[in-house]
């Protein structure tokens, strides 16, 4: 594997790790900062502002992707985004309402510029050979998850327990600055924009992309329905053991299992190719199993609750790693490289559309014992079984060597 990897790939992966660490470290302390600092905002308003951040970030990514793909170039857009993010974290340290809104605006703009454009650069530097593509996308994905865990564990924990929120904002900003400097160190590439010649379920690549985005959105919608009931159960367990296990550690507990299976996946995919729609089908099935285990949690938290939670998170980690990096691989495979950042930025739009459907469904779930978990389990299991049954209708063959879109050749 080491011979196939390049220094450039590792720099991009490290940059992704640091950027996610900075972003999620900031997210982890933002609500508490608004409540406990001199701002002294009501809890409801703080949570409302936090919700707007996620929504605005979605649109910021689309804008940032368009700027990178059509105007400034992906690398320039990412570099500017990293510096903008850092400036936003420093503005937040001023502890005034205008600084809160202006600082978060800069953070949202910077993150929207950095994320999709970094993905585009990464996607353009790797071969579309199936083994290499899947292995490297899994590596990129777990780097983001390790960064997320790092941000929650280190930034949030140190800020809450020892040094205060300003320290957390500065540390987040410096992490993103380090990510920006690593990206700056990477070499420029001569890019040839060609559409993929790989075949999918449809003969038209646009239809393939729409189908992939639909499947991904459906997966995360059902995940959200299940988590509506599961979150309360999980946090009851966290609360019972909060005196033993720091909150910052338990909040990132689920991501540890994603990282575990991600590391395994990197090595497996580099050495063997598994049809991607088989991965997607088992991603649905394992996620279904993660929810059904939660149905057996006892009403009173006990040591058995911990065992069942670990088993559930094991299935969850396997399901997410089979699903998320595979969706990203398919996006790279079927997207014209010139528009890769834009397509990547649109990946959550189907999920957002399903989110509104969730909003209509969840009030009917509330108050019914484990109904959300049961809906998620049954739906995920049925869709996973359907995808596996129809797997032979999904073409996922490797293009011939002369057809592989080698668009990551360095300039000599």
Q: Are residues 281 and 158 in the same domain?
A: no
Q: What is the pLDDT of residue 127?
A: 65
Q: What is the total count of domains within the chain?
A: 2
* Res 399: pLDDT: 45
Stretches in the chain below the pLDDT threshold 50? 1-5, 190-193, 399-412
Give the pLDDT confidence score for residue 354 in this predicted structure.
Answer: 59
- Strand-pair partners of 189: 410
Helices (H), 295-392: 303-334, 340-345, 349-365, 371-389
What pLDDT was estimated at residue 406?
40
Same domain, 47 and 70: yes
Q: Is residue 412 part of a domain?
A: no
DSSP string, 95-112: -SHHHHHHHHHHHHHHHH
Same domain, 202 and 283: yes
Contact 171, 37 (CB under 8 A): no
Q: What pLDDT sits at residue 128?
A: 66
129 burial class (0-12, 13-18, 19+ CB within 10 angstroms)?
middle
Alpha-carbon gap, residue 291 to 316, rounded angstroms: 8
Q: Does residue 403 sit within a domain? A: no
Of the residues 189, 215, 243, which one is the last residue of a structural domain? Answer: 189
User: What is the rounded distance in angstroms from the CA atom of residue 93 to the CA atom of residue 89?
Assistant: 7
Are 155 and 242 part of one and the same domain?
no
| 257 assigned to some structural domain | yes
Start-to-end CA distance of the chain, whole Å, equals 24
**Same domain? 184 vs 202:** no
Same domain, 147 and 241: no
Whether residue 301 is found in the same domain as residue 332: yes
Answer yes or no: do 78 and 111 share one domain.
yes
Q: Is residue 408 one of the residues assigned to a domain?
A: no
Note whether residue 329 is domain-resident.
Answer: yes
Let me know if residue 278 belongs to a domain: yes
- Pair 124, 210 in one domain: no
- Phi first, then psi, for residue 150 (nearest 5°) are -60, -45
Which of 137, 162, 189 is a domain's end point? 189
- Which of 168, 189, 210 terminates a domain? The answer is 189
Query: What's 206's domain CATH number?
Result: 1.20.1250.20
- What domain range includes position 28? 1-189
| pLDDT confidence of residue 43 | 81
Query: Same structural domain for residues 176 and 250?
Result: no
Q: Which of 412, 409, 411, 396 is nearest to 131 (CA)?
A: 396
Would you say residue 377 lies in a domain? yes
Determine the pLDDT at residue 191: 47
Token match 């649905």: residue? 284
pLDDT of residue 412: 28
Residue 397: what pLDDT? 55
Cα-based distances in Å from 97 to 30, 57, 171, 173, 385 = 13, 20, 21, 19, 51
pLDDT in tens, 139-159: 999 999 999 988 888 887 787
Same domain, 235 and 155: no
- 110: in domain: yes
Q: What is the pLDDT of residues 64-98, one digit of tens each?
A: 999 999 999 999 999 999 999 999 999 999 888 89
Do 106 and 214 lie in one domain? The reply is: no
pTM of the predicted model as reported, rounded to 2 decimal places:
0.86
């Amino acid at each position: 594997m080491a011979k196939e990897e390049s220094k450039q790939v590792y720099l991009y992966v490290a940059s992704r790790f640091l950027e996610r660490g900075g972003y999620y470290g900031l997210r982890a302390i933002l609500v508490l900062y608004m409540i406990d600092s001199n701002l002294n905002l009501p809890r409801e308003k703080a949570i409302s502002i936090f919700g707007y951040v996620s929504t605005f970030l979605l649109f910021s990514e689309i804008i940032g992707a368009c700027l990178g793909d059509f105007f400034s170039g992906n690398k320039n857009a990412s570099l500017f985004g990293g510096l903008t993010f850092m400036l936003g974290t420093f503005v937040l340290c001023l502890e005034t309402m205008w600084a809160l809104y202006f600082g978060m605006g800069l953070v949202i703009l910077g993150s929207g510029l950095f994320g999709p454009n970094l993905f585009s650069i990464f996607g353009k530097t790797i071969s579309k050979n199936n083994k290499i593509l899947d292995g490297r996308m899994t590596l990129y994905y777990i780097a983001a998850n390790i960064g997320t865990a790092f941000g929650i564990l280190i930034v949030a924990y140190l800020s809450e327990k020892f040094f205060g929120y300003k320290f957390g904002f500065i540390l987040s900003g410096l992490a993103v600055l380090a990510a920006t400097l690593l990206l700056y160190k990477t070499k420029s590439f001569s890019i040839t924009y060609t559409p993929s010649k790989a075949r999918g379920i449809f003969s038209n690549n646009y239809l393939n992309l729409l189908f992939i985005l639909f499947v991904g959105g459906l997966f995360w919608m059902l995940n959200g329905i299940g988590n509506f009931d599961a979150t309360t159960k999980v946090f009851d367990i966290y609360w019972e053991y909060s005196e033993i296990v720091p909150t910052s550690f338990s909040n990132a507990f689920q991501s540890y299992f994603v990282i575990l299976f991600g590391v395994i996946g990197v090595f497996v995919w580099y050495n063997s190719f598994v049809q991607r729609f088989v991965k997607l089908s088992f991603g649905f099935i394992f996620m279904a199993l993660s929810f059904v285990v939660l149905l057996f949690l006892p009403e009173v938290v006990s040591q058995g609750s911990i065992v069942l939670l670990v088993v559930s998170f094991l299935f969850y980690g396997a399901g997410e790693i089979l699903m998320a990096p595979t969706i990203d691989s398919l996006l790279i495979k079927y997207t014209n490289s010139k528009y890769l950042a834009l397509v990547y930025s649109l990946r959550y739009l189907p999920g957002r559309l399903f989110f509104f459907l969730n909003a209509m469904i969840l009030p009917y779930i509330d108050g019914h014992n484990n109904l959300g978990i049961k809906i998620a389990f049954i739906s995920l299991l049925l869709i996973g079984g359907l995808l596996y049954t129809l797997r032979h209708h999904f073409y996922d063959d490797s293009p011939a060597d002369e057809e592989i879109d080698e668009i990551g050749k360095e300039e000599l």
